[in-house]
Every structure is written in C-alpha cells, then in structure tokens.
Chains A and B, each alone.
Chain A
C-alpha cells in the first residue's frame, strides 16, 4: 500500500539551530500536511499544502510541497526548547486509502544533552 517515509527518525537540537526534516513516497499526493505531537497529547496541525511547489510558512516553520508531488519538507528556524516533540507528515491521494490521510512514522525532536 501507500507509505510515507519520514527522515530522520530522531534528532537532537540545540537552541538556536535550524532543523530540517522530510517525507518521501513512491506515490503521488494531492495534499501534504505537517502535524506536531507534544507528549501526552494528540497531534496538532501546523501547515497544510495543496499545490505542487507551494511554500508555506507558519512563524518559524516553513514547509514545501515537492514539485514531483511525492515529497514534502519541513524546516524550523532558530529552534527553541518548546519545539521538542514528534513531527508527523501526512498526505492524501483522492484515489487511494479511501481518500483518507496516511501518516509517516514521525521525526522525534529532542534537546541536545
């Protein structure tokens, strides 16, 4: 079935650093979304992307919908401690998964010890 491959699986951040993560697939999607999950909570929508090549920002977060429609990227600039959590990409293809979202396995952000 359709799968989203998220990388890296985990990373450590130091306050002030920029962070990049991505999500790739062998399938084409019409919509890409990025969610963040804090410990003990449900995921919260950060950014939604609806067009190939689209670049959208939400504060220090910037996400891009890949030109091939098979990938998406999320960048966090000047990270702060509250950025720690798990980031999920999600995508929808009207023709697959009954039109529902499928999720990547997540990128876990932790603070560098």
Chain B
C-alpha cells in the first residue's frame, strides 16, 4: 500500500517556466490537499479538494492552479514560476475531512532560479 505518492521529488525551474506536480493516493480518500512548507512558516494550505471534480482555494492560492479529474489524483500547476515559489510542497489526503487526520506524501522540493 503506497499511501500518498508525489512526483517529482526534486525540481529546479527557471523563472517564468511552468510545471505540474502530481499527487496520487491509493486509499480511496475523498479529500486531498496541497501545502507548501517554508522555513519558520509552518505548513500553509494552497488549494484543496473535497471530491472528484471539485477544487477550492486555501490560504495562499495565488500563482497556483489545481485539478482533480480523477479521485486518486490531485495536480498542482505553476503557470509562470517565480522565485517566491521556491519551497517544499506536500500533498495530503484524508478519508472525509480534517478530523480523520491527514496522510502526507514525502514532498517535492522545488527551486525557482
């Protein structure tokens, strides 16, 4: 049972380039989330989804887009990367919301130069 899998694990982008981060879960969870983690800032919610075909904005959504076409996948897109988006990105999923606790992936370390 793989849990939550994030790809890629590392990536370096040039300013203005675009990319998509993929999150896949095999636990049949309804809810999925994208967080970013920066030193001294903790975890901040970017976007989330409460089910297939739905997405919603979190605390820091600007510069990112998401899609949840299939229940098991949640994609995070950066259309035009900026140095301020250098961060570690974590995907998480939960059965039916936060009270169940989240299962996190192992993260994607993104550097924008």
Contacts and interface: CB of A to CB of B under 8 A. Distances in A.
Given A41-B106, A100-B33, A105 B48 contact: no
Given A100-B33, A105-B41, A105-B42, A44 B104 contact: yes
B99 A50 contact: yes
Interface in A68-106: 88, 90, 92, 97-106
A31 B98 contact: yes
B80 to A, nearest CB: 26
A21 to B, nearest CB: 14
A100 B32 CA distance: 11
Residues of B in contact with A, size category: 20 to 34
B42 A100 contact: no
Contact of A99 (B40, B42, B98): B98
Interface in B93-113: 97-99, 101-107
Interface of B: 4, 33, 40-45, 48, 56, 58-59, 90, 92, 97-99, 101-107
A1 B44 CA distance: 13
Given A33-B101, A43-B90, 20 more contacts: A1-B59, A31-B98, A31-B99, A33-B98, A40-B106, A41-B106, A42-B4, A42-B90, A43-B102, A43-B104, A45-B102, A88-B43, A92-B99, A97-B45, A98-B56, A101-B98, A101-B102, A103-B43, A103-B44, A105-B40
Interface of A: 1, 31, 33, 40-45, 48, 50, 88, 90, 92, 97-106
A106 B42 contact: yes
A100 B98 contact: yes
The 7 nearest A-B residue pairs measured at CB: A42-B104, A105-B42, A45-B101, A103-B43, A101-B98, A92-B98, A103-B42
Contacts of A44: 104
A43 B90 CA distance: 9
